[in-house]
Structure 1
Amino acid sequence: MKKEESTILSLTNKLYLPILVSILLSSCDFFKFKSENNDLDENPIVASVGNQLLRNSDVAFLVTTGSSKEDSTNLTNRYVQSWVRKQLMILEAGKNMTFDEAELNRKLLDYKYALMVYEFEKSYVTSNSSAEISNAEIEEYYENNKESFSLKEIIVRTNFFKLEKSNPQNRPLERLLTLNRDNVETSIRQIALDHASNYYMEDSTWVRFEDVIVNTPLAANNNKVELLRNSKLIKVDDEIYSYYFKILDYKLQDQIPPLDFVREEISKILTNKKRVALVEQLQKDIYNRALENNEFKIYD
């Protein structure tokens, strides 16, 4: 009897073991499937093109602290559109052209190394740059190179005032602007503060004439050069306002600009020259050090 029971148990085990294993394997697949679904829930796909996927984590950097939900949404939408267009272009390129993988990889490496060198040079320049460009350096460069500067537009030093035509201070202002005495500036400034709809009183600053006359009747004048040559005080009116331009000085197109007008430009030129010089010296030092230490060979 015991032998029969043992035989029955053995047969039962043999019969149910595959079923049990099958259930366990199915359970593993089930749990694996659920885990993958959880990953998808946590990092959903935002867009796809072919086999390429753009996930939520790929666009998370676009959402910054302080930006509104609407701004973040608009920025993300623009990024997704750009990504889709780029992937579609890559797909189309692959369909219509045969690319040399080795050549592509070589170019990628060249770009990678160029980027590494650029970042290294930029870091070196930042760490080793001297103080800001001095006024003496700017003035010296201007004196030695002033002929290379040429104005592409009219620039002026001017005072500008805009008053309503009905304002009783128009006449006193116009009279004061015709005087060339230092003691009238306070009175002019007071009228501007109290009565002008707009005004500009930066005597020493050179500005583009077009920037000053924009939105005034003078902008439509086709004889600006003659007007500047013949008038120290220019007055024009429209239906509501009177506009006054007291011309303190001017420079015409193709003339050499004053130093103050090109000071910032010269500062940028000198800063770039110093950067280039630093990088060239860095390259020379690295080469000479490697040469002394026999770190490279050039074969015939």
Structure 2
Amino acid sequence: MNAVVLSLDAELAWGYHDLSEIPDHVESARTSWSRLLALFDEFNVPATWAVVGHLFLDSCDGTHADHATPTDDWFGRDPGGVAECHPQWFADGLIEDIADASANHEIACHSFSHVEYGDVRTSREIAVAETRTSLEIADDSGYDVESFVFPRNSVGHRDVLAAYGFTCYRGTRPELWCDKTRFRSLAKLIDRTVSRTGPPLVTPETDDYGLVNIPASMFLFGDDGRVRTLTKNVWDDPGIRSAKRGIDRAAEADDGVFHLWMRPGNFTEERDFERLRVVLEHLAMRRDEARVKVLTMGQIAGHLREEDPTTTRTPIGPR
């Protein structure tokens, strides 16, 4: 199949709670989330929204004492209380906005509290707690999730995901030539502005746990900050050029997926939204030409499982 997949890491403050500082742009992330939904609706483009499980809650005690964690102070910044008092720690209507949007989005899982599954501190017990709790909360809220995006793209404990009935995950981006050079920033600039190749198409494949791996092709904001400063005109934006080339490669290929990902928190300036608008406009044009499909991660996994029903497994965990 030739298709384009868009996925978003929807995390608000949870994406940064274990770091030394929570960046200022988290304050505007809720507004960005809503504006992105409006953009997707405008072009009728569906996306996979991977939501941190804690955001499904309306309230909490701030301690989660029975939840296995990588460090003793893992929930130290969790303010607890109710959603209306702490809007950066609870979704408070944003998940319902995804479900109610005109575009047929998929709601996926991004762990319960943004634990890195590939971190050596993340034991199987912790991975089980993060996975099971996320599923139970989503189910209580009326959502059946099947796709998983690893926090910080740190892949690990895939056996746990399979045991709890997930069907697919976003895998790591294939290594590019510019990843191997000492002058990575310059190489990345060349790759995004001069190179005619464009970001890679990926081939979703079923792994040894029966999960469909849908690797990332490109991060929409992966260009160096200095490069963005030099390219203030949206039409000279290397991120737009690269994303459009990826879409065109998928449209012209016999087989291959262009998987573009982003975070609502990345959209901090007007030109960030304009960047996505231009990309979505190009994507809608190629889709309307019947050259490429726009699918969610779950739909990609569904297509592969139809082709090979033996990959379907019965979950052992609660659903």
Q: TM-score scaled by structure 1?
A: 0.21
Higher relative contact order (CA 8 A, sep 6+): 2
Q: TM-score scaled by structure 2?
A: 0.20
Give 1 or 2 for the bigger CA radius of gyration. 1
